[in-house]
Amino acid sequence: MTKILHISSLAPDIFEIIIKSPDIAKKAQAGHFVVLMVDEKGERIPLTIADWDKQKGTITLVVMVVGTTTAKLTRLTAGDSLYALVGPMGHPSIIKNYHIVIMVAGGVGTAPIYPIARELYKRGNKVVVIQGARSKNLLFWQDKLQSVSHDYIVTTDDGTCGQHGMVTQPLQEILVKDHQKEIGCVYAIGPAIMMKFCSKITKDFGTKTIVSLNSIMVDATGMCGVCRVEVGGHTRFTCVDGPEFDGHLVDWDLLLDRQKIYLPEEKKSYTHYIKGTKEHDP
Ligand SMILES: Cc1cc2nc3c(=O)[nH]c(=O)nc-3n(C[C@H](O)[C@H](O)[C@H](O)COP(=O)(O)OP(=O)(O)OC[C@H]3O[C@@H](n4cnc5c(N)ncnc54)[C@H](O)[C@@H]3O)c2cc1C
Ligand code: FES
């Protein structure tokens, strides 16, 4: 049994969960994810290992509530156990010296960006972080991102914090201003639509761009094919070939379409779950 040690709210519908898992913590690297089941009848969902402590034997997950399983998970409390947890899974990020790296974090994409930025910072890169959210109250881990960056920029869609607008604006401005200054790589992690537009901008400048794809997963072992994506004209499985890919080669429209394939079932499941929890409320 895998015990939850701590669960707290970071922002509306975004939670931080610390889990005791010495075996996973020992092997965790930036870019890895876990797959968990909340209960015996539940589905398996992938979540990034956003932080870990090898000494304490813990891993940290950041979860945004979008449907039934994330809702069930974030209603657990410290002391509860998960039915199953496996990992670390996926290929870790390649940590090397790119000279200057721009890290773009959109929404809950802050969680996977943080450990990658930390490792690139330790490796001696100049790290520029652009963190974006719809509004100020949805920003989290700002202190953590600042601690692993040389330059830190915030954008909010509604202008309640930092620059008014989307993350793509400062990204484009930096590339226009500094593209001759050895920007070796851009990391963009967040909603697929954000990663698509970041990749579109960087392609014009010929700047290498890595994205972490959030395709729907079922088995996460390369057997079912649900997480398949097209990268450079080849079929790839996000679970075993990724989750990181070259953003310039991803077929974004296919990914965006495939993210919606179970939408009617997901809506039905969520309505059923919420109705059930209300019936059981005292
Ligand atoms: C490698 C990887 C790492 C991820 N890391 C995180 C993370 O750190 N924090 C976090 O909050 N979320 C993360 N996700 C997304 C998370 O897995 C989904 O939000 C979750 O599975 C949704 O389950 P649900 O039952 O609550 O919602 P559902 O009802 O299943 O789905 C609701 C919505 O989420 C989308 N969705 C469903 N399943 C997935 C899926 N497996 N991946 C992506 N989108 C999905 C659907 O298209 C739908 O729009 C990650 C996904 C991948 C592939
Ligand atoms: S989730 Fe089944 S092949 Fe990747």
pLDDT tens readout for residues 199-226: 999 999 999 999 999 999 999 999 999 9
User: Does residue 179 carry a pLDDT above 70?
Assistant: no
Q: What is the pLDDT of residues 221-244, one digit of tens each?
A: 999 999 999 999 999 999 999 999
Q: What are residue 16's DSSP bridge partners?
A: 8, 62
Q: Confirm or reject: Cβ of 235 under 6 Å from ligand 2.
A: no
Tell me which DSSP letter residue 92 carries: P
Closest ligand to residue 35's CA: 1
pLDDT for 279:
64
- Taking Cα atoms as reference points, which of 123, 131, 267 lies closest to residue 184? 123
pLDDT > 90: percent of the chain: 87
Strand partners, 185: 101
* 180 pLDDT tier (thresholds 50, 70, 90): low
Q: What is the mean pLDDT of residues 183-204?
A: 96
| CA 175–ligand 1 middle distance (angstroms) | 31
Separation of CA 144 and ligand 1 centre (Å): 23
What mean pLDDT is predicted for residues 161-169?
A: 96
Query: Would you say the CB of residue 70 lies under 6 angstroms from ligand 1?
Result: yes
CA distances from 215 to 78, 204, 252 (A): 29, 25, 11
Whole-number pLDDT of residue 280:
59
Cα 172 to averaged position of ligand 2 atoms, centre (Å): 34
Our answer on whether the CB atom of 226 is closer than 6 Å to any ligand 1 atom is: no
Best substitution site from 216, 254, 261, 271 to test ligand 1's pocket, by max atoms within 8 Å of Cβ? 216
Q: Which atom of ligand 1 is nearest to the CA of 243?
A: 1
Residue closest via CA to ligand 2's atom 3 equals 222
Please state the domain extents for the chain. 2-89, 100-258
Tokens of 277: 């929890």
2-89: in CATH 2.40.30.10: yes
Percent of the chain residues topping a pLDDT of 70: 97
Q: Which fold has domain 100-258?
A: Rossmann fold (3.40.50)
Check if 5 has its Cβ closer than 6 Å to any atom of ligand 1.
Answer: no
CA-based nearest residue to 155, from 121, 110, 185: 110
